[in-house]
A and B are shown apart, each in its own frame.
Chain A
Amino acid sequence: MKIAVCIKRVPDSETRVKIASDGTSLDEAGVKFILNPYDEFAVEEALRRKEKAGAGEVVVIALGSAAAQETIRTALAMGADRGTLLQSDRIPADGVEVAKALAAELKGAGFDLVLFGKMAIDDYNHQVGPMVAELLDLPCVTAVAHLEIEGGKGVAEREIEGGVEVVEFTLPAVLTADKGLNEPRYPALKGIMAAKKKPLELKPTALGPGALEILALTPPAERKEGKIVGEGAAAVPELVRLLREEAKVL
């Protein structure tokens, strides 16, 4: 089974966000970067599918600056076979442009599965996977939390409001991974050493400007300082009064 996993280098979820002097981007000084957590589920799933099939190849593809090589190495250390970096110092806000570059790389390469995380935890765009599927005219299921594949067919489950959707699809397909799909492995020391020798190809990539412009990045409005109503059960009647009369939510 030949599987591609599209991954992204993102700031760690514990990062304190500082806005750069241009007012439209993140100040990256001192920020720790990681493999996008949802992409970890995708990498893990690819490895398990290949292991189960007993043969195949897992290729990780990232789009980003030279620093994203480190992110690719993380996926290689988990067990992926080789990596490709579509190198671009600028990632446009318009997900269609990102999808076009990835689709051009994936087109005609004969992948049975193309996996993504359901979203990246930096821009929350939640769109590149299904866009790539549309551009390649492949079936796609997003936010997959459970997956079974048998022959050329698959059944995926995805959470929707108030339930779980059971979705059938045919291969080749594009899937995006949600939390719950699996438990990603930690790279072992042996894997980390092996990853250093695995092939990693750099491809300079020119992306279109796209039609979405970031005008400003601002900190969210601070929540107004709250108040401690009191201690213990004795404070409950006063809380209920405040919710009813001051906050007017009851």
Chain B
Amino acid sequence: MSHVLAVLEQRDGALRKVSHEVVTGARRLADALGGNVDALIVAAGPVRGADQLGRFGADKVITLSHAAFGMYAPEGYARAIVERVQSGGYGAVVFAASATGKDLAPRVAARLGRPLAQDVTDVAVEGGAVTVIRPVYAGKALAKLKVAGTPALVSLRPNVFTPVERPKAGTQETAAAAGPAGRVVVKAIKAAEAGTLDVAEASIVVSGGRGLKEPANFKVLEELAAAFAGRAAVGASRAVVDAGWRPHADQVGQTGKTVSPTLYVAVGISGAIQHLAGMRTSKVIVAINKDKDAPIFKVADYGIVGDLFEVVPKLTEEIKKAHG
């Protein structure tokens, strides 16, 4: 029997949405290993949402507090997590492959001298060993890997592990973390505009490419995104980011973000292989393009051939109606 540690994320004292996905992935491994899920929150004090984690399968929720742990403190967090892992006899440690998780997990792995399977899209236990699936070569191939020994460290690609309700006790426990916060200090978070969702985390992404013709025309996409009532983010292709029309934070693709939303709407994007790398795991893909031979139609579930400046406003109107 082997337990699983789920390392969760908080910002401004509230649990981040991706944490439910991490608990869900951890639960799946714990069930296969015959153990419990311990959910670990590193914070400056009590975190909103911690009491909900039992619903998703956490047997125990441990909040590790330190005055300097309100914001991400890479070295202090890594030390605190390593101490917990070493004291708990865990078979697996599960992170989110978020910006923070992708920074934190390798530090923990190096300190433990254990391998890390980063940004996985599936986890399982076969013959007692943890196995994972990871997209490699820009999603052009999937690698199946086996982790020898314990603990197995994995980080889960956001938006892939749909949270599943699996009620467990969710017993709350608190502990104080000791020691220095470290030499790397997050001084501030410059927040994006209020209300804007990150493309990597939105359940709907509306992306634009060169077909938009000029930066100001992204307004039609912003209006479409707004019609989804707070569920959608606006993304962009590499061509328009390189041209300076949109910020790099919005770029979807091999040198941008990898997204797996429920719905991906590609507008005026031809579908270069490096763009497909970033969005091919979306659940449903819609393409709107005036060129009927554009490669994007090869991966799209639904396509409309036509002038985006006519199609998109009509779509915005219909979505508003559907939400009305």
Contacts and interface: CB of A to CB of B under 8 A. Distances in A.
Contact of B322 (A216, A230, A240): A240
B303 A226 contact: yes
B141 A179 contact: no
Nearest to B249: A159
A228 B286 contact: no
Given A169-B185, A214-B144, A232-B310, A134 B318 contact: no
Interface in A159-196: 159-170, 178-180
A179 B143 contact: no
B176 interface: no
B198 A134 contact: no
Interface stretch (A12-20, A56-64, A80-88, A198-206): A12-20
B301 A166 contact: no
A127 B147 contact: no
A226 B116 contact: no
Given A13-B254, A164-B189, A229-B304, A236 B103 contact: no
A1 interface: no
A13 B275 CA distance: 11
B110 A96 contact: yes
A52 interface: no
B166 interface: no
Contact of B106 (A131, A215, A224, A232): A131
B142 A242 contact: no
Contacts of A167: 184-187
A169 B299 CA distance: 44
Contacts of A129: 106
19 contacts: A14-B273, A127-B102, A159-B99, A160-B98, A161-B16, A161-B98, A165-B186, A178-B248, A179-B251, A214-B144, A215-B145, A215-B146, A217-B143, A219-B141, A226-B300, A229-B304, A244-B322, A247-B302, A249-B283
The 8 closest A-B pairs by CB, nearest first: A134-B110, A127-B106, A232-B306, A131-B110, A17-B140, A161-B198, A160-B99, A233-B314
Interface of B: 16, 72, 74-75, 78, 97-100, 102-103, 105-107, 109-111, 113-119, 131, 134-149, 182-192, 196-198, 200-201, 204, 248-249, 251, 254-256, 262-263, 273-274, 277, 280, 283-287, 292, 297-307, 310-311, 313-315, 318-319, 322
